Amino acid sequence: MLMVRQPSRRLSKGWEYTTRMDYDLECQSIVKTFGVFRAVDQVSFQIERGSFFSILGPSGCGKTTLMRMIAGFYEPDSGDIHIKGRSVLSTPPNRRPVNMVFQHLALFPMMTVAENIAYGLRRRRASRSEIETRVADALHRIGLPDSGEKRIDQLSGGQKQRIAIARCMVLDPDVLLLDEPLGALDLKLREHMKVELKQLQHQLGTTFVYITHDQSEALVMSDRVAVMNDGKFEQVGTPQDLYFQPDTAFVAGFVGDSNKWRGRVLNRDATSLKLEADSGETLVGVPGGSAAADRGMAVDIFVRPESISLRRVTSSEPTSTPGDTVNHRAAVVESVLFNGAQSRALVKTRQGEDMAVALPQTGEYADLREGEEVTLAWSIEHCRCYPASSG
Amino acid sequence: MSQKDARRLTFLLLLSPFLLWILLLVVIPHIDMFMLSVREKIEPRVYETGLGNYIEVFSEPVYVHTLFRTAVMSVAATALTLLLAFPVSYYIAKLARGRLKSALFLMCLLPFWVSELVRVFGWMILLRETGVISSFLQWAGLVSGPVEFLYNDAAVMVGLVYTSMLFMVVPLVSTLDSLDESLVEAGYDLGGGGFAVLREIVIPHAMPGIVAGCIIVFMLSLGNYLTPILLGGKSSLWFTGHIYSQFITRFNWEFGAAFGFILLATSSLLVWLALRLSGQTLASTIAKS
């Protein structure tokens, strides 16, 4: 690979103000293969105490395998997992200080809500009175104080969700693992549960490790997000880091939407790169991530629809204002995709490229129609390029 | 003809084989049997209606003893079958994959391709004094003379369990199949050991299948004739043996009919008891498995 990672830079942030013992979960060079397929490949990361950490990746990227190794259902081929500074590799899943909220929640249908929550406490041989008070307390905390005697199938999706979390939280785990628990909910409820989960985590102060393929879930809830692809971590950082400073082409393409071109580097100077897209157009951009971009190198170029500014071409104004710092295009609106705050315009540039542009929400473009002529502009730093991925 | 009439006619036509079957083979014979059982023979060709036959059955200790013994042995055979079939079913339903799964299932079915008589004879070849096991033990020098394994309660039990296995495995596999693996994992994840997960999650989930299998196996064992008589010999004292001898040997149909109804009442009572104790209903067990 051409990319040169700079782990020292990313890690140093953490090392400055935390000691090793402040990590609730630490994975060191975890490898897991199934036959010839390497599901998890040399993954290392640390999660600070009490933080919300997400692992974001497309399906089949190995995130579930990684989580099942943390929970203890799989054993890594090599590497080590530390929880609160102690290796748990030899600890079976029922003794690990981690609990898991399963994808379909896995509430026990043969038990009532209260019995579900009490299950783990009963396994620890807690006294009957203690179980009763803790179950009542947990039900109260999740806002379902009267649901103890209900059967699982009498609950709504959101209530089930909360019960599944309460069932783990009564056990005071060091780390709570959540395996895409919002996947089965409808959109409205999912939006609501995102906020609720984040608040719950904040209130409880427990370390959450959240697995998802939905970037909005990861970005909204997490303190830090790891983007995973092909069994490897592409980048670990805050949601803002991932969105504004993606390290790799994969992260740039996966987190948020992007207009993407294949091209090559024509020339470079101290601050910017002159690029030529395969279609023959030239652009000015900056290297994304830490990869060095040499002249002639094949690159992927990314521009987010929301960092492009769009202007109508009116007869009184000149059609374009060429400048050194701005990329610009003249284009024709092909169609308008109205979706409230996420409305887009699909345009075709004069050179024949299709691009998506976010529409400003000021109402000024509410009457934009097909066939109108517009000019597009975006600054150099919003035009990021990465060494071309082989795919 | 309107569409509604057509639909009704189709419904009746589809229902008629079932109605005929249940009426001709179940309801009418049972009414006839019941009439027979309450007919007391005063003298040749003179009959009176009364419960004399039933009173006579219960006043004879050997009949009561046989009934009790048959019921206890059937319950034991059911329990033993469940104990053996549960791990087998769990393996087939949850651990075996793909072709192995169907192969194992087929192997449970395979013995039923031959008739019960042949299967029982198979066991006799193995267990009799000059049979395979006895000869092997002698050849290995473990025993000095021939050993008779046949004609005792253990042989009957072996035969009953063998005959019943499939009828326990099928409902168990189908209920265990529907058990979501993540429930078992959640059971472990929340701190449960193997036994706790089995008791709290797997068995409660499989309960409808367990009860359905037990009912079928219990009824089959209680009403079995061939296996206990052939493997248990003269000492088997199986209740169906009495029914056979009253009807066929003694031509005392009135008495035999009373025996039949006592057996029916016993099995119904025990099944009802089992359902009450396990907290299941007949509808839930049949529907789920």
Residue B210: how many other CB atoms lie within 10 Å:
25
- d(Cα B242, Cα B252) in Å, to the nearest integer? 11
Every domain of chain A with CATH number 3.40.50.300 lies at 21-251
**All structural domains of chain B:** 60-288 (1.10.3720.10)
Give the burial class of B201: count Cβ atoms within 10 A of its Cβ; 0-12 exposed, 13-18 middle, 19 or more buried. buried
Beta bridge partners of A226: A55, A236
Question: Is A73–B183 a contact, with Cβ atoms under 8 angstroms apart?
Answer: no
Of A71, A94, A171, the CB nearest to B193: A94
CA nearest A94 in B: which residue?
Answer: B191
- d(Cα A389, Cα A289) in Å, to the nearest integer? 14
Chain A contact probe: residue of B178, B189, B202 with most A CBs at under 10 A: B189
Question: pLDDT band at residue A325, thresholds of 50, 70 and 90?
Answer: low
Helix axes A157-169, A113-123, angle to 10 degrees: 20
Residue A44 is predicted with a pLDDT of 92
Beta bridge partners of A179: A211
Chains A, B: CB contacts under 8 A, how many? Answer: 60
Question: Is A108–B186 a contact, with Cβ atoms under 8 angstroms apart?
Answer: yes
3-state helix, strand, coil in chain A (%, to 5): 30, 35, 35
pLDDT digits (tens, 9 = 90+) for A107-163: 999 899 999 999 999 999 889 999 999 999 999 888 888 888 999 999 988 889 889
Tell the CATH superfamily of the A21-251 domain.
Answer: P-loop containing nucleotide triphosphate hydrolases (3.40.50.300)
Q: What is the DSSP string of A112-152?
A: BHHHHHHHHHHHTT--HHHHHHHHHHHHHHTT-TT-TT-BG
Chain B contact probe: residue of A108, A165, A176 with most B CBs at under 10 A: A108
Residue A1 is predicted with a pLDDT of 35
**Contact residues, chain B, for A167 at CB < 8 Å:** 190
Question: Is B191–A104 a contact, with Cβ atoms under 8 angstroms apart?
Answer: no
**Contact residues, chain A, for B204 at CB < 8 Å:** 110-111
Question: pLDDT band at residue A364, thresholds of 50, 70 and 90?
Answer: confident
By DSSP bridging, strand A98-101 and strand A52-56 are: unpaired
pLDDT above 80 for A2: no
- d(Cα A146, Cα B3) in Å, to the nearest integer? 51
A356: phi then psi, degrees, rounded to nearest 5: -105, 135
Question: How far is A233 from chain B, CA to nearest CA, in Å?
Answer: 26
pLDDT above 70 for A363: yes
Letter string b/e over residues B213-242, b meaning 16 or more CB atoms within 10 A of that residue's CB: bbbbbbbbbbbbebbbbbbbeeebbbbbbb
Every domain of chain A with CATH number 2.40.50.140 lies at 258-387
Percent of chain A with pLDDT over 70: 90
pLDDT digits (tens, 9 = 90+) for B10-20: 999 999 999 99
**Contact residues, chain B, for A110 at CB < 8 Å:** 201, 204-205
- d(Cα B136, Cα B147) in Å, to the nearest integer? 10
Percent of chain A with pLDDT over 90: 32
Question: Is B189–A108 a contact, with Cβ atoms under 8 angstroms apart?
Answer: no
Of A104, A110, A123, the CB nearest to B192: A123
Question: Is B186–A71 a contact, with Cβ atoms under 8 angstroms apart?
Answer: no
pLDDT digits (tens, 9 = 90+) for A228-238: 999 999 999 99
Question: How far is A148 from chain B, CA to nearest CA, in Å?
Answer: 18
pLDDT digits (tens, 9 = 90+) for A25-69: 999 999 999 988 999 999 999 999 889 999 999 988 999 999 999
**Contact residues, chain A, for B187 at CB < 8 Å:** 108, 119
Two structure tokens written together for B257: 């009919």
Question: Is B190–A102 a contact, with Cβ atoms under 8 angstroms apart?
Answer: no
Residue B79 is predicted with a pLDDT of 95
Distance, CA of B225 to chain centre? 11
By DSSP bridging, strand A98-101 and strand A175-179 are: parallel
Residue A288 is predicted with a pLDDT of 79
**Contact residues, chain A, for B199 at CB < 8 Å:** none
Q: Which of A365, A243, A383 is nearest to A310 (CA)?
A: A365
CATH architecture of A258-387: Beta Barrel (2.40)
- d(Cα A301, Cα A355) in Å, to the nearest integer? 13
Residue B288 is predicted with a pLDDT of 52
- d(Cα B180, Cα A363) in Å, to the nearest integer? 51
- d(Cα B204, Cα A367) in Å, to the nearest integer? 62
- The answer to whether A230 and A83 have CB atoms below 8 angstroms apart is no
Residue A292 is predicted with a pLDDT of 65
A344 membership: H or E segment, kind and range:
strand A344-349
Alpha helices (H) in chain A, listed in sequence order: 7-17, 63-71, 113-123, 128-141, 157-169, 187-204, 215-221, 239-244, 249-254
Residue B86 is predicted with a pLDDT of 95
- d(Cα A150, Cα A153) in Å, to the nearest integer? 8
Residue A316 is predicted with a pLDDT of 52
Chain B contact probe: residue of A68, A91, A110 with most B CBs at under 10 A: A110
Residue B1 is predicted with a pLDDT of 61
Question: pLDDT band at residue A15, thresholds of 50, 70 and 90?
Answer: very low
Low-confidence ranges of chain B (pLDDT < 50): 289
Residue A10 is predicted with a pLDDT of 39
**Contact residues, chain A, for B186 at CB < 8 Å:** 100, 102, 106-108
Question: Is A119–B204 a contact, with Cβ atoms under 8 angstroms apart?
Answer: no
pLDDT digits (tens, 9 = 90+) for A245-256: 888 889 988 888
**Contact residues, chain B, for A95 at CB < 8 Å:** 191
pLDDT above 50 for A9: no
Question: pLDDT band at residue A20, thresholds of 50, 70 and 90?
Answer: low
Residue A19 is predicted with a pLDDT of 46
CA nearest B206 in A: which residue?
Answer: A110
Mean of pLDDT values over A95-108: 91
